[in-house]
Amino acid sequence: MEDKFDNKLTISLEDGTKAVIEVLDIIDSNIYDKTFIIYKFENDEDNIFASILNEQEKSYSLDTITNQDEINYINSEIDRVSASE
């Protein structure tokens, strides 16, 4: 039997509080050798965020994107997918 699958993750912030995010998509880029994660918070429906996903054995971290080329890459992916259909 299948377990119902949710795209939601609980994240612990710097303050110690926890928040729930809804994962929209995970993109693997061979150019930059990184995985990008696109998500939004549960309460905010208007804002969308992107960050780098560093997955390790027992933990993972969502890091900020500093390079402008990577941001343009994500925007180009979004435009490509939205225009293809």
Partner 1 sequence: MKLEINTFFNNVDDYYKNNVESLDGIEDTGINNLKEAIEFYEDIQRIMVKRIPELMENKDNLSQAEISEYTKKATEVFNKCDRYISKINEVLEIKNSLITKKIIENRKNPSLKLQSEIYILKYGGRYNGFRKEYNDLKAVKLNPNNKTVIKKSKDDEIDEIIKYVKEEIYKEAIPIENNEIQRNINPPKKEEVKENKTKVYEKPTLKEEPKMNVYRKPVPKEEPIKVQNNSVIPQESKKEETKINNAINEFPSINNGSNDNKKEEVKNVSSESKEFEFPATLSELIVQGYLPNNIDEKKLIEVCNNLGIKAKDLNFKIDKDLYSRLDNDKVIKDARFNLEVVNKHKQKIKEYDKLINEYENMYKEVINSGSFDSKYIRELRSTIQVLMQEKAKYTRNVDNMKFDDVSSYYQFNIGFDNKAISINKKHEKVNNELREQYQILDKQKIELKNATSNKMKQIINRRIEKTEKTIRSLKAKESLYNSKQVKIINDNSQKYINIVKYKQERYAYEKKNARENVRQVIDYNNEKKRLNEEKQNIYKDLANVNDSNIKGLVERIKLEKEVSDIEKAINRLQKKEGRCIKQAQFYHRETKNTSLK
Q: Give the Cα separation of 60 and 40 in Å (integer).
A: 17
Q: Select the residue interacting with partner 1 from 19, 20, 29, 42 (CB under 8 A).
A: 19
**Nearest partner of 55 among 80, 77, 23, judged by Cα:** 23
Q: Is residue 32 close enough to count as binding partner 1 by CB under 8 A?
A: no
Half-sphere exposure of residue 79, counting CA atoms within 13 Å on the CB side?
6
Q: Does 34 bind partner 1 (CB under 8 A)?
A: no
Under the criterion CB under 8 A, does residue 74 sit at the interface with partner 1? yes
47 binds partner 1 (CB under 8 A): yes
Count of residues that bind partner 1 according to CB under 8 A? 41
